[in-house]
C-alpha cells in the first residue's frame, strides 16, 4: 500500500484548500452561529465534481475511487466539519444507495442530477423511537395496485428540509422482521412529503438536520429500490461504506484541530518561551499526531478494501470507531492547549470540539461499532 497521496489526491487537496479559503472559511462562523445551511455552496462543490465522487462518468459523476473520496471529505472537514458531513451524506447515503441498488432507469434518472448537485440527496432511516434498533421502525409502505403509500416520520435526517431526492426505508412486512423492510426513492415535491422540526444542535450547525413526515405519500412501484424486503439488508451495506465516510470526516476534524494547536503552541509565549517547548504541551501534540496517524491507516485499509469490493463490515466499523474517538480526544486536547482562548469563538478549536462529538454518534454510535466488530470476530 502506498501511504503517500497519489497525483489525483494531491490535486484534490490543493483544489479544496483554494476553494475553502474563498468559499468556506470567510463565512463558516456565521453559518455556525446562525445555523445557516449554505445550499448554494453545494452547487459550487458539485461543479468541482465532488458531489458525485463515486458515480461513474456515464452517469455524470467523477468515477473516482474511495481513496479520492476519503481525501475530499477529510480535506473539507479540516476547515469545516459541517460541510464535510453534508458532502459525505449526499455522496455515500442517498447517491450511494441509488448507485448500488438502483436499476438502470433509476440510475439514469437520478444520478446525473445528484452528481451535479442540481438535486441534493437525503437518506431517511432513523426514527424518533428507533435509532439503532432500525428493524422496529414504524414508518410503513403499503402496496395499493401499482403504487406504494408511505406513512410515518423520520428524524435526524441530514438535508431533511432541503433535500430534493430522499431514499426512504420503510416497513413493508412484519415489525421486527429484517425481511419486512424495503427502500424507495421519493421526490421531496411529491404530495404527502413535508419537513418537520429542524434540530438546534451542539455542533455541525451548518449541516441541516431535520424531521421528515410522510402522510399518505403515494409513489409508483418503479421507485422501489431492489426487491421487496431487501431494504434493511441494503441499508446495512450502505452503512458499511458510510462508516468510512465518518472515519474520513473524523480524520479531517482531528487534523484541523491538531494543525491549529501546533501553530498556536509555537506562537504562544509563556515564561519566556513558546509553550511547545514545555514537555506537557509537546507530549500532547505527540499523542495527537500519533493517534491521527493510526486512525488514518485504519481508514486507508477500509478504503482500499472497499475499492476491491471486499466486505468492509469489520474494517469500516474499526476505522469509524477509532477515528471518531480519536477525533473527540484530539479536539478536546486542542482546547486544552489553547487554554482560555480555546474556550472562545475567536479561535477555531471550540468549533472542532463541538463538531467532533457527532462523529461518535452518527451512522452508528461507538457502542454499535463495538457490537458489529464483536459479532465479526466471535463468529469468524
d(CA 360, CA 75): 19
pLDDT at 3 over 90: no
**Of 68, 208, 291, 363, which is the active-site residue?**
363
Q: Give domain 122-229's CATH architecture.
A: Beta Barrel (2.40)
Q: Which residues of 30-69 are buried (b: 16+ CB within 10 A; e: fewer)?
A: ebbeebebbeebbebbbeebbbbbbbeeebbbbbbbbbbb
Whole-number pLDDT of residue 265: 98
Same fold for the pair 7-120 and 233-378: no
Q: What is the pLDDT of residues 63-93, one digit of tens each?
A: 999 999 999 999 999 999 999 999 999 999 9
Q: 205: which residues sit within 8 A by CB, 6+ positions away? A: 31, 32, 33, 35, 82, 354
Predicted TM-score (pTM) of this structure? 0.96
Q: What is the pLDDT of residues 298-351, one digit of tens each?
A: 999 999 999 999 999 999 999 999 999 999 999 999 999 999 999 999 999 999
Q: What does the domain layout of the chain look like in residue ranges?
A: 7-120, 122-229, 233-378
As given in the structure block, the three cell numbers for residue 368 are: 454499535
Q: What is the pLDDT of residues 359-374, one digit of tens each?
A: 999 999 999 999 999 9
Whole-number pLDDT of residue 380: 77
d(CA 193, CA 342): 42
* Region for 226 from its dihedrals, namely left if φ exceeds 0, alpha if ψ lies in -120 to 50, beta otherwise: left
- Evaluate whether the domain defined by 7-120 bears CATH number 1.10.540.10: yes
Q: Active-site residue 68, yes or no? A: no
Q: What is the pLDDT of residues 208-234, one digit of tens each?
A: 999 999 999 999 999 999 999 999 999
Q: Give domain 233-378's CATH architecture.
A: Up-down Bundle (1.20)
Q: Cα 272 from chain centroid? A: 44
- The CB-side HSE value for 41 (13 A sphere, CA atoms) comes to 23
Amino acid at each position: 500500500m502506498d501511504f503517500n497521496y497519489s497525483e489525483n489526491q494531491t490535486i484534490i487537496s490543493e483544489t479544496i484548500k483554494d476553494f475553502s479559503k474563498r468559499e468556506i472559511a470567510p463565512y463558516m462562523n456565521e453559518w455556525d452561529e446562525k445555523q445557516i445551511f449554505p445550499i448554494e455552496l453545494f452547487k459550487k462543490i458539485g461543479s468541482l465534481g465532488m458531489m458525485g465522487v463515486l458515480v461513474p462518468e456515464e452517469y455524470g459523476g467523477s468515477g473516482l475511487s474511495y481513496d479520492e473520496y476519503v481525501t475530499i471529505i477529510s480535506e473539507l472537514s479540516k476547515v469545516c466539519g459541517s460541510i464535510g458531513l453534508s458532502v459525505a451524506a449526499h455522496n455515500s447515503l442517498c447517491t450511494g444507495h441509488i448507485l448500488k441498488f438502483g436499476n438502470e432507469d433509476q440510475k439514469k434518472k437520478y444520478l446525473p442530477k445528484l452528481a451535479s448537485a442540481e438535486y441534493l440527496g437525503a437518506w431517511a432511516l432513523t426514527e424518533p423511537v428507533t435509532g439503532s434498533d432500525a428493524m422496529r421502525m414504524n414508518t410503513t409502505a403499503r402496496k395499493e395496485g401499482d403504487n406504494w403509500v408511505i406513512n410515518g416520520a423520520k428524524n435526524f435526517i441530514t438535508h431533511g428540509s432541503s433535500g430534493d431526492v430522499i431514499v426512504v426505508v420503510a416497513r413493508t412486512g412484519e415489525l421486527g422482521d429484517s425481511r419486512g423492510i424495503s427502500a424507495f426513492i421519493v421526490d421531496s415535491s411529491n404530495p404527502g412529503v413535508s419537513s418537520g422540526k429542524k434540530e438546534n444542535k451542539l455542533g455541525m450547525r451548518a449541516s441541516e438536520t431535520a424531521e421528515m413526515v410522510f402522510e399518505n405519500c403515494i409513489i409508483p412501484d418503479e421507485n422501489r429500490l431492489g426487491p421487496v424486503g431487501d431494504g434493511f439488508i441494503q441499508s446495512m451495506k450502505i452503512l458499511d461504506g458510510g462508516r468510512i465516510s465518518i472515519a474520513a470526516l473524523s480524520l479531517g476534524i482531528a487534523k484541523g484541530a491538531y494543525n491549529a494547536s501546533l501553530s498556536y503552541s509555537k506562537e504562544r509565549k509563556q515564561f519566556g518561551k513558546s509553550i511547545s517547548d514545555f514537555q506537557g504541551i509537546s507530549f500532547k501534540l505527540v499523542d495527537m499526531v500519533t493517534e491521527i496517524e493510526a486512525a488514518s491507516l485504519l481508514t486507508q485499509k477500509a478504503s482500499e478494501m472497499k475499492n476491491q469490493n471486499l466486505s468492509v463490515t469489520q474494517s469500516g466499523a474499526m476505522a469509524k470507531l477509532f477515528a471518531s474517538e480519536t477525533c473527540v480526544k484530539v479536539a478536546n486536547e486542542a482546547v486544552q492547549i489553547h487554554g482560555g482562548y480555546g474556550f472562545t469563538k475567536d479561535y477555531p478549536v471550540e468549533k472542532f470540539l463541538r463538531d467532533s462529538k457527532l462523529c461518535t454518534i452518527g451512522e452508528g454510535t461507538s457502542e454499535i461499532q463495538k457490537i458489529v466488530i464483536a459479532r465479526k470476530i466471535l463468529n469468524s
